[in-house]
Structures are given as C-alpha cells and as structure tokens.
Chain A
Amino acid sequence: MTKDEHKNWEQLFSQLPINVSETDRHKESLKRELLEKLDARPTGSPQVSSNPTRPKQTIGQTLMKYKIPHFTGLAASLICIAFFLQLSTPALAIDEILKKIVSAETAKYKMQFESAGGTQEIEVLQYDGAVREKFGDQISIRDLKRKKVLVLNEKLRTASLATIKTDADLSKSSSNPFESFRSLLESEQPSNPKMLGEQEFDGKSLSGFQVQISDMTLTIWADPKTQTPVRIEYPLPGYDTSVLITGYEPNIDIDPSLFSLEVPDGYELRQTEVDAGELPTEDDLLRTLKLYSDFSGKYPESLGISGLTKTMQSYIQERMKDGQPDLQELQSQTVSFSRGFTFTMTLMAENDSQYAGADAKPGDSDTPIFWYKPSSQSKFRVIYADLSIKQADKAPQVKGAQKVGSDL
C-alpha cells in the first residue's frame, strides 16, 4: 500500500455524503445531563463512580465473561470475586484503598484458591488488561483485546496459541477473576466497613477492614502508610472455596514483552480456534463429570475450584507425559471441563441446584449426583452417577448434598 494509494482512500472517504453537523437540541440536552451527573456524584465515595447505563450484573452473567479456555483447567477459577454486588455507601479509608485496585494499570499478585480438595496458587502479572499467570511449569498469557490465549509449558517446550472465535468485542471482558473484581468495583460501591486493627503478615504489619456483601464477608489488609491493599480474602459460598490475593502490588513497572503473544524460539507450536459464542449447558456439565470420572475413577468431592483444577492439572500433566499428546484434543477437553463447571455457576437460588457426587460410584444408575430445576419449569433435572438424566417432581434427598449456584 503506497502513500498515494493511502491518499486515494482518504480522498474517497472525504467524499462521504453524510451531514455530520450536530443539533443544538441533542448537544444541550446531553450537556445538561452530564453536568447534573457531576453534581450528583457523592463526595467521599470512591473514585470509581457507578455507571447508571450499566445494569447490575448477576454472578451468572459475570461468569459468562469467563468463557475463555484456560489450558491448565484454571478456567474453573472463573468464579471468584463476582459477589461484590448491591452495596452502598463506603467509608473514606476504604474508598481510597479500593480506588487503588480499580485504577491500577499494572499489578503483580498471587491468587490462591483454597478448598477441601487442596490449595492452588497462581502467580499473576496484570498489564493493560492482559494477564500472565504462572502455574507450575505452565505460563498462560490471556489477551482478550486481541482474542488470543498463549500457553507455554516451560518443561516440555510446547506452546498452544488459541484464537477465540467470536464477533464480540472482548476488550471489556475480564482476563481473570481478579480483573472481573476490578470491573465490578468500577460499577459497585462496597459498604458497612468494619475495622480489624493491625496484624502481621510475612513480617509486615497491615491494617485490615471487612465489608459485608450479602451473606459474604470481604476482608482487605492494607499497608497503613501507603493505603495500598496487599491482601484480599473472600469466600465463595456454595463452592467450599475461598480466594486469597496476596502480595498485591499495583502500578509497578512491568516489562511489556512478558505479554508478547509471539512463541519463543525452541517451542513447538499448536494453534487452535475456540468458539466462545455458546453459553455453557447441562451437556457441558455431563462432559465435565465424565472427563473427571474417567480420569480419577470417581466424581469430585465437591464442585470447589481447587480440587477440580488440581485434578485437571494432573490429568493434563499425565497426558503430556505420553510424549506426543494431541494438544487440540486436550484443549478441547479442558474447554469442555471449564464450560461444565461454569454452567453450575449460572444457576441461581431459584434453580435449587445441589451436588452429591462425592460418594457416588460412576456407572451407578440409582444414585443422583446433581440436580436442578431449570428456570420456568416445574420438574427437576436429575443427573445420576451413570450420567443418565431423569425428570423428578421433587429434589432427591441425599445426605451430604451440597448446594451450588451463583447467588447462594
């Protein structure tokens, strides 16, 4: 494309026969609205004002942002922080601290998922909306603006570059649960703070506070001198999992080349396309349960994130030991896995969903392991241990059944 050709295009577009002059009516009306909005903004609230054009999101809706596959199965960690909803007036000190989370352009932290199934810790770098996560030998770079996910296995020297196939603009989508948390804080304001005093963590004295959000308590520990959040804790009700963010350092210098989607020399590359357009369904959950039981000979202890991701990671590592695993098949399986889990997160309290697979024997046609009542339907859908599905008027009564869903 020469300069002349480029100029020709400019000339062509300059001929566009559209009247672009504005009307005073719209301009003045909008100006009034903006200025009133500035007036209406409460003083003392965090500098993360809510957006009236953006409706409150349900957790299920929020989770739908996380349809992006995580090669390691970390897509199950899609869940977190989505509970920061329906809050009101915050306290000033908290405002300042939360503002630092929301406005951070870069950050470094560790994200830990704890459940009965174990603990998983991921080292995370955030830069310009993209995240780089290190998990064992695996490095995952998710850049949703560019609709790319690059996963490198440092030990096996393999690379998987997935292109997300969707017309949607993913630039506003969150690349990991903490990014989602930041996104939610941008539109919601926490309230009812309770100061916790000072406590020492890793030799450093931090000041803490809690805020109550629905039936969940968020705890943040911050450096009292810099008002910078360092440690953030919150449970995931219904998923026997808690999330812990530690070593949080916002706005640090990060080398942009760490987020390059170029495959390093010496790595074997596999490229795939992932369709992110479809919402997860019951079928996805069936595939997830089958994949899990085929590999481990049983069903998960719970639908907690950590146990599931740990199992999935073991599965992938075992497959990688095969020598030449079919990476596309493997990736397809991990996508199914994450989508099934995400499906359970779309269910609300009204769906009355429960999980009881911990003691079930795969193949047993009499033991219900998961059930829910689809919205607007009167009967329950019951999944049995042989992965058959039957309808029932009432929810099965199974000892030890755990409630699951996004708004518990």
Chain B
Amino acid sequence: MTHLPPNLTDEVVQRAKGDKAALGELFDHFYPMIFAFCMRRLVVRAFSEDVTSEIFLKMVSALPSFPGRRVEEFRRWIFRIATNEINAHLRQAIRRQELLQAAVQLGRVNVEQATEALGISTELDWEAVYKAIQSLTTVDQSIISLRFFSEASHDEIALTLDMKPGTVRARLRRALIKMREDLQAEGANGLERKSINQECSKDVSSPTVERDSQS
C-alpha cells in the first residue's frame, strides 16, 4: 500500500491506545489513504465520508484490544476494518445500485488503457468496470480493491485478509480474467450501453460524484 507516512513510528501506534496526541497523529496519517480507498470503492463522497467515519470509530473502539505494535500491523488492521465496512455498506442492493448510478457520471475509460488491459478497442464506461467488480465474490472484490485502490502488494493483501499469498495471487488472477471477460462482453455491446448510460445520467436523483479535474 502506498502513501505510508514516512515519519510515523511504531511508538505512535503503541501510545495511541491511551494518548490523544498519538491517536491524533495516527489519524492524520491514515485518514487520507482510508478516505481515498473509500472514494475509489464507493465513488460517492457522502457515502465515502460516512464509511470512513465508521471505520475510524470502529478502530478507536477496538484499539485497546489491537494486539499489534508496529505501523505495518496497524495499517493492515485498519485496512481490514475498512474492507469489512465497505463490504457491509455494499451488502444492500440499493447501495450497489447507487454506486453504479454514480459511476455513470465517471464517463468513459481511456480507450488506450482499455485496449491494453482488455484487448478491446470499443468504448467502455467506468460504470461497466464497477459492475464487473460487483459481479465478483465479496472476497475477490476485497482483493481487487486492495490491489488497485490502495495499491497493496499480494503479500500485504494476504496479511490483511488472512489468506495465503498464493491464494491471493490465484484469486486475483481469476478475478481479473472474469472481469476482462465481462468487460469484453460489455464492450461488444458498447452502443447499447451508451444509450442506457445517457438515460441514466439524466436521472436527477443520482448521487453526485466529484470527478477529478486532473484526470
């Protein structure tokens, strides 16, 4: 996982159980990466803020019983909480639908990237990408999210999800193959999708998404 604060020490993690300053320091360092993880996974800012709040509140509740002492252990632990909270949020069908509605507003995938990753040159929307993620099992969604939304390595994912690294590799591989197949099929129906998306994007009740102006 990238974004690891370079100046966060193990001692801060150990003190955070009862020291406000240390807890504040821990929060300052981890908040941006957890929030970004939620945003990439949930797309909608309001939902991402709610889930981020829930993650940190759960973290501080459980912190006294957190058995680790090192920053690395804490990072894996909070990402595990985050993964569970995001999965819990998306357990409701209405939430998944809201995510897809919001993803409509993200528009098209860069054609060049789509071609390289998926071997297709037709138009593809981000909505389709999120739909392909949603079609995976919860565990595979977690692996994909940790790998591509928090840039965790296979070993880090394995430790975060309590799985063997080999299992993570195998599941990631299978999940990506399935996503590619789903997206290739989606790309083949590009024109139809385009029509549907245009209709959906007119829906004023769709959650608001802030697009990254730099992208």
Specify whether A and B are partners. Answer: yes
Chain A residues with a Cβ under 8 A of chain B: 1, 5-6, 8-13, 15-20, 22-23, 26-27, 30-31, 33-35, 37-39, 41, 47-53, 99, 102-103, 105, 128-129, 145-146, 167-169, 171-172, 186
Within 8 Å of chain A (Cβ to Cβ): is B69? no
Are A18 and B210 in contact (CB-based, < 8 A)? yes
**Count of residues in B whose CB is under 8 Å from the partner chain:** 57
Are A103 and B20 in contact (CB-based, < 8 A)? no
Within 8 Å of chain A (Cβ to Cβ): is B36? yes
Within 8 Å of chain A (Cβ to Cβ): is B79? no
Kindly state the separation between the CA atoms of A169 and B62 in the bound complex, as whole angstroms: 19
Instruction: Name the residue of chain B whose CB is nearest to the CB of A27.
Output: B31
Sort A-B residue pairs by CB-CB distance and give the 9 closest, nearest first: A17-B215, A20-B36, A47-B64, A8-B117, A13-B148, A19-B212, A19-B210, A12-B117, A8-B116
Are A37 and B117 in contact (CB-based, < 8 A)? no
Within 8 Å of chain A (Cβ to Cβ): is B213? yes
Instruction: Name the residue of chain B whose CB is nearest to the CB of A11.
Output: B113
Cross-chain contact of A37 among B60, B65, B113, B209 (Cβ < 8 A):
B60
Are A50 and B65 in contact (CB-based, < 8 A)? no
A221 to chain B, nearest CB (A): 23
Kindly state the separation between the CA atoms of A167 and B88 in the bound complex, as whole angstroms: 10
Q: Which residues of chain B are within 8 angstroms of A5 by Cβ–Cβ distance?
A: 117, 176
With contacts A18-B212, A27-B31 taken as known, whether A49 is within 8 angstroms of B149 at the C-beta atoms is no
A366 to chain B, nearest CB (A): 47
Are B109 and A15 in contact (CB-based, < 8 A)? yes
Instruction: Name the residue of chain A whose CB is nearest to the CB of B36.
Output: A20
Q: Which residues of chain B are within 8 angstroms of A10 by Cβ–Cβ distance?
A: 148, 151
Kindly state the separation between the CA atoms of A332 and B211 in the bound complex, as whole angstroms: 50
Are B56 and A30 in contact (CB-based, < 8 A)? yes
Are A34 and B23 in contact (CB-based, < 8 A)? yes
Q: Which residues of chain B are within 8 angstroms of A99 by Cβ–Cβ distance?
A: 65
Are A30 and B54 in contact (CB-based, < 8 A)? no
Are A168 and B91 in contact (CB-based, < 8 A)? yes
- Please indicate which of the listed interface residues A22, A27, A145 has the most CB atoms of chain B within 10 Å of its own CB: A22
Residue interface mask B119-141, A partner, CB < 8 A = 1: 00000001001000000001100
Are B60 and A172 in contact (CB-based, < 8 A)? no
Are B61 and A35 in contact (CB-based, < 8 A)? no
Kindly state the separation between the CA atoms of A95 and B61 in the bound complex, as whole angstroms: 16
With contacts A31-B24, A34-B57, A49-B64 taken as known, whether A16 is within 8 angstroms of B116 at the C-beta atoms is no
Chain B residues with a Cβ under 8 A of chain A: 18, 20, 23-24, 27-28, 31-32, 35-36, 39-40, 43, 49, 52-54, 56-58, 60-62, 64-65, 67, 84, 87-88, 91, 106-107, 109-110, 113-114, 116-118, 126, 129, 138-139, 148-149, 151, 162, 172-173, 176-177, 209-213, 215
Kindly state the separation between the CA atoms of A172 and B85 in the bound complex, as whole angstroms: 11
Instruction: Name the residue of chain B whose CB is nearest to the CB of A15.
Output: B110
With contacts A20-B35, A34-B56, A48-B64 taken as known, whether A15 is within 8 angstroms of B113 at the C-beta atoms is yes
Instruction: Name the residue of chain A whose CB is nearest to the CB of B20.
Output: A35
Are B20 and A38 in contact (CB-based, < 8 A)? yes
Are B117 and A128 in contact (CB-based, < 8 A)? no
Kindly state the separation between the CA atoms of A37 and B64 in the bound complex, as whole angstroms: 12
Are B106 and A17 in contact (CB-based, < 8 A)? yes
Question: How would you classify the secondary structure of chain B's contact residues: helix, strand, loop or mixed?
Answer: helix
Kindly state the separation between the CA atoms of A9 and B64 in the bound complex, as whole angstroms: 38
Kindly state the separation between the CA atoms of A167 and B23 in the bound complex, as whole angstroms: 35
With contacts A51-B61, A102-B65, A169-B88 taken as known, whether A34 is within 8 angstroms of B27 at the C-beta atoms is yes
Are A9 and B212 in contact (CB-based, < 8 A)? no
B86 to chain A, nearest CB (A): 10
Q: List 30 A-B contacts (CB under 8 A).
A: A6-B176, A11-B113, A11-B116, A13-B148, A15-B109, A15-B110, A15-B113, A17-B106, A17-B212, A18-B39, A19-B213, A20-B36, A22-B32, A22-B35, A30-B53, A30-B56, A31-B24, A34-B57, A34-B60, A35-B23, A37-B57, A37-B60, A48-B65, A53-B58, A53-B61, A99-B65, A105-B67, A129-B162, A169-B138, A172-B84
Q: Which residues of chain B are within 8 angstroms of A31 by Cβ–Cβ distance?
A: 24, 27-28, 31
Kindly state the separation between the CA atoms of A172 and B162 in the bound complex, as whole angstroms: 13
Kindly state the separation between the CA atoms of A13 and B57 in the bound complex, as whole angstroms: 29
A202 to chain B, nearest CB (A): 29
Instruction: Name the residue of chain B whose CB is nearest to the CB of A105.
Output: B67
Instruction: Name the residue of chain B whose CB is nearest to the CB of A169.
Output: B87
Are B126 and A17 in contact (CB-based, < 8 A)? yes
With contacts A20-B35, A169-B87 taken as known, whether A37 is within 8 angstroms of B176 at the C-beta atoms is no
Kindly state the separation between the CA atoms of A122 and B54 in the bound complex, as whole angstroms: 37
Known: A16-B212, A17-B107, A20-B39. 6 other contacts (CB 8 A): A15-B110, A37-B57, A48-B64, A103-B67, A169-B84, A186-B65
Are B31 and A22 in contact (CB-based, < 8 A)? yes
Kindly state the separation between the CA atoms of A34 and B87 in the bound complex, as whole angstroms: 22
With contacts A8-B116, A12-B117, A18-B39 taken as known, whether A30 is within 8 angstroms of B65 at the C-beta atoms is no
Q: Which residues of chain B are within 8 angstroms of A6 by Cβ–Cβ distance?
A: 176
Instruction: Name the residue of chain B whose CB is nearest to the CB of A145.
Output: B162
Q: Which residues of chain B are within 8 angstroms of A35 by Cβ–Cβ distance?
A: 20, 23-24
Are B212 and A20 in contact (CB-based, < 8 A)? yes
Q: Which residues of chain A are within 8 angstroms of B210 by Cβ–Cβ distance?
A: 18-19
With contacts A5-B117, A11-B113 taken as known, whether A18 is within 8 angstroms of B61 at the C-beta atoms is no
Are B52 and A18 in contact (CB-based, < 8 A)? no
Instruction: Name the residue of chain A whose CB is nearest to the CB of B151.
Output: A10
